[in-house]
Amino acid sequence: MLNGQEYLTPTGERVLRSGDLVRIGPGDDIRSYTGKIGYLHTIKSVGEFVQRGEAVIVAEGENGAVELYAPRDGVVVWINAALENAPPWLVTMRLCADKPDRSCKKQYRS
């Protein structure tokens, strides 16, 4: 995951890394499946630790709903619950350092 580079995950999330933060939003395939996103169901709240591959939110659109997954271990720092600014980004996470001791998880236990 390169800093400043946008990419798609295998499950269709659009991800942009900036330092130790990542923004997560729906990729084109997700947007075409859901249609216009009108509601977010939060699975993880701001301040909660999330492991790579865990669902963070469910984005509900006109045609369907999909879960968006964490691309790496980290902590949720923002959720675009109001769907402000025609959302390209729905979630922001602070990444944990790549350490085998999982110090981030210990620090952010909910």
Query: Which tens digit of pLDDT belongs to each residue from 32-81?
Result: 999 999 999 999 999 999 999 999 999 999 999 999 999 999 999 999 98
Q: State both tokens at 25.
A: 């939003």
| 6-105, CATH topology level | OB fold (Dihydrolipoamide Acetyltransferase, E2P) (2.40.50)
Every domain of the chain and the residues it spans: 6-105
Render 5-67 in DSSP notation, one character per residue.
Answer: -EEE-TTSEEEEEETTEEEEEE-HHHHHHH-SEEEEEESS-TT-EE-TT-EEEEEEESS-EEE
Find tokens 């130790």 and name the residue: 20
- Computed over every residue of the chain, the mean pLDDT equals 87
Within 8 A by CB and 6+ apart from 70, the residues are 24, 50, 51, 52, 53, 54, 55, 56, 93
pTM summary value: 0.85
Over its C-alpha atoms, the chain yields an Rg (Å, rounded) of 13
